C-alpha cells in the first residue's frame, strides 16, 4: 500500500526535524523531485525561511510549484543538475533526500555542494540504509557509507539523526554533518 502525500510529507518531516535548528535561514533541496522533502523542510523553517529547490526535471519542478502553496513562502525553483556547479547564495543548510543514490562518484559532488554552505552550515542527507542497489537506487549509501563520505568531503560531526522503517529497502535514515566553522578551518 502506498502512503498518501500528507503521510509522506509527515514522514519526511520526522526525518528532517532533528536536524533543523529553527525557523529562518537560506536552504537548498538538491534533487528535490516533486517536493515532498521541500514542503517538509519549509514547515520546519518558517517563518522567514527561503528554499532553493533544485532538480533537473522540469516536470517535477512544475509539480512542486503546483503543490507548494504557502502564502509566506520564498521558494526558488532551480532547473539544474546538482552534480554540476551551481550558483547559489551562501546556504545555512542543504537537504539531499533520496538524491545521492543516483550519483556514482559521490565525494566530489558532495564536496562541491558543501562548499555552498556557510561556515557552520548543515547538510542533511536522507537515504535508504542499504548497501546493495537496484534499478531505483543504483548507487546506495548506507549509514556507514554516509559517515565516511562526510569525512571525505571535509564535513565535520557527521552522525545519524533519525531512522524510520521503509517498505522499500527496509529502512531510511537521516544523517547530518556540518561545514567547518571559520575559526577551525582557516576560511
Each residue's pLDDT tens digit, 32-81: 999 999 999 999 999 889 999 999 999 999 999 888 877 777 999 999 99
Per-residue model confidence (pLDDT) at position 2: 63
pLDDT interval class at 186 (50, 70, 90) = very low
Angle at the Cα of 6 (from 78 to 173), degrees rounded to 5?
Answer: 70
Could you tell me the three cell numbers for 38? 521541500
Instruction: Output the CA torsion 125→128→131→135 (10° steps).
Output: -110
Per-residue model confidence (pLDDT) at position 17: 94
Each residue's pLDDT tens digit, 149-160: 999 999 999 999
Could you tell me the three cell numbers for 21? 535548528
Per-residue model confidence (pLDDT) at position 133: 87
Domains of the chain: 5-185 (3.40.50.150)
Whole-prediction pTM: 0.93
Each residue's pLDDT tens digit, 3-43: 788 999 999 999 999 999 999 999 999 999 999 999 999 99
Per-residue model confidence (pLDDT) at position 70: 74
| CA atoms of 129 and 157, how far apart (whole Å) | 19
Buried b / exposed e over 126-142, threshold 16 CB at 10 Å, is bbbbbeeeeeebeebbb
Q: Compute how many other C-beta atoms are within 10 angstroms of the C-beta atom of residue 27.
A: 24
Amino acid at each position: 500500500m502506498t502512503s498518501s502525500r500528507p503521510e509522506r510529507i509527515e514522514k519526511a518531516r520526522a526525518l528532517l526535524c532533528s536536524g533543523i535548528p529553527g525557523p529562518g535561514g537560506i536552504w537548498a533541496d538538491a534533487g528535490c523531485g516533486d517536493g515532498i522533502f521541500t514542503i517538509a523542510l519549509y514547515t520546519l523553517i518558517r517563518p522567514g525561511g527561503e528554499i532553493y529547490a533544485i532538480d533537473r526535471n522540469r516536470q517535477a519542478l512544475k509539480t512542486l510549484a503546483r503543490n507548494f502553496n504557502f502564502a509566506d513562502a520564498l521558494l526558488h525553483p532551480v532547473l539544474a543538475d546538482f552534480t554540476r556547479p551551481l550558483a547559489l547564495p551562501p546556504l545555512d543548510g542543504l537537504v539531499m533526500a533520496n538524491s545521492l543514490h543516483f550519483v556514482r562518484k559521490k565525494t566530489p559532488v558532495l564536496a562541491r555542494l558543501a562548499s555552498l554552505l556557510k561556515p557552520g552550515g548543515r547538510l542533511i542527507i536522507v537515504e535508504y540504509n542499504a548497501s546493495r542497489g537496484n534499478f531505483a537506487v543504483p548507487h546506495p549509501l548506507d549509514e556507514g557509507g554516509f559517515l565516511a563520505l562526510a569525512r571525505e568531503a571535509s564535513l565535520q560531526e557527521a552522525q545519524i539523526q533519525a531512522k524510520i522503517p521503509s517498505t522499500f529497502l527496509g529502512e531510511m535514515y537521516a544523517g547530518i554533518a556540518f561545514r567547518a566553522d571559520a575559526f577551525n578551518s582557516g576560511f
